[in-house]
Structure 1
């Protein structure tokens, strides 16, 4: 089913100044879903799921948080944190006039979705949480992202060289996920270092006590063989959330290469959250 797709932008005020954020809308209507990318990745990674959800009649928005994709990338570490990203989700809902939304994401995006449910509980109708990063993934996260922070800070030429090598490759001639990898390599050293610094030294996710108070329906997907996005973290989170449902992905790549089963689970969660039309009208301008 073909759905309409529109690119938009809005602005947020941070300590670094006024920054521009970019998003893509899929479909239409008042049954909103917001999808967030993984760490350092562009919002385009959520395009396949967004199209599936929009094909089921949902109004889907994919967002590049600050420092990601085509949004602004300030070089100030104070501009970046999971809490700041959650505030950007709320600002997006305000900009769209959306009273509520199902909020979802992968990796860092899953943590931001959780934080949004704590920060703005009345605005979140449900959660789609793919591979959250919690207690069991901390050490692996340091091992994976720490060298990137050091390279961006102390060997910025390496980040710039990778960008120069990958940026000219036409995305239309490579497979979709290869294009996402190329887009993820399109980093600026100063902003990449600032983003990773902010994530390392800021709040990574809501506390266990806060997570247990999130009462909306939630789909939690865990992946085998992914140390940073630990299966144990996903299972623990699903157990903590009062209305959490845990689904094991058959592999790290299942939702990327064979998405049908997990897409059905996401569609079921999102459409189920919108079956009862409570507070679903557009917020006043």
Structure 2
């Protein structure tokens, strides 16, 4: 994968296809390939005539691993995304983020609205504002000597995912400390671009999609039927809703 330096940090990315660019920002513990290629998102976007650009968040995938929690605030990762667009010579792009990637997308839209044509925030509802409460359990699960030592269900879920993806668990633990920083409600209201908020019907982590959409000046909500936080990622109906949203805003 190609890389570039974002404030001295090596960030990996990949470009698939041609057409209007869509930047894809993955979730915690994942990577561009796991979150977007393996789930069929890149294929769906290419088929619809879009160029898909994946970024490996700092500490993830093939990007540089960092071990200081202060390096993982969402505004810093949003800056990586903005610098990637600058590096590629892209003035403005659609952005789709999932879970942590949706939080990064929100910070990107607040700080660099001129870069974002419209955004899809998947797996992130009112948790963007209220924060999430199981960070300590996830950190403990990542730092445990073995999976057998992890008893909390959420911590165990993330440990299994990290082990399966062969992630750097120490880097992920540092990321979890600060990457869930809530966004101030006044900043949410400053997001001026169109946003589709998509959350699984049985997702007990993300919070309400409709409540977050109601705070956004140009927000709309989509509930992904019968999907939890993990299974919603590659859902066909989610992809269809997102592509339709991009089409409406491409025409606008």
TM-score, normalised by the number of residues in structure 2: 0.84
Does residue 10 (structure 1) correspond to residue 4 (structure 2)? The answer is yes
Q: 2:15 aligns with which of 19, 25, 29?
A: 25
Per the alignment, residue 194 of structure 2 pairs with: 217
Cα distance in 2 for partners of 1:100, 1:93 equals 8
Pick the structure with greater CA Rg: 1
Cα distance in 2 for partners of 1:119, 1:184 equals 34
Residue pair 2:192, 2:216 contacting (<8 A) in 1 also: yes
Cα distance in 2 for partners of 1:182, 1:56 equals 32
Q: 2:185 aligns with which of 186, 208, 222?
A: 208
Residue pair 2:24, 2:52 contacting (<8 A) in 1 also: yes
Q: 2:24 aligns with which of 24, 35, 44?
A: 35
Task: Give structure 1 stretches of 5+ with no counterpart.
Answer: 1-6, 163-179, 277-285
**How much has 1:136 moved relative to structure 2?**
8.2
Q: 2:121 aligns with which of 126, 129, 137?
A: 129
**How much has 1:151 moved relative to structure 2?**
4.2
Task: Give structure 2 stretches of 5+ with no counterpart.
Answer: 151-159
TM-score, normalised by the number of residues in structure 1: 0.75
Q: Are residues 256 and 187 of structure 1, via their aligned partners in 2, closer, same or farther at CA, if it must alter by over 3 Å?
A: closer
RMSD of the alignment, in Å? Answer: 2.6
Structure 1 stretch 94-103 or stretch 181-190: which is displaced more? Answer: 181-190
Q: Are residues 59 and 242 of structure 1, via their aligned partners in 2, closer, same or farther at CA, if it must alter by over 3 Å?
A: same
Q: Are residues 75 and 257 of structure 1, via their aligned partners in 2, closer, same or farther at CA, if it must alter by over 3 Å?
A: closer
Q: Are residues 19 and 136 of structure 1, via their aligned partners in 2, closer, same or farther at CA, if it must alter by over 3 Å?
A: closer
Aligned length: 237
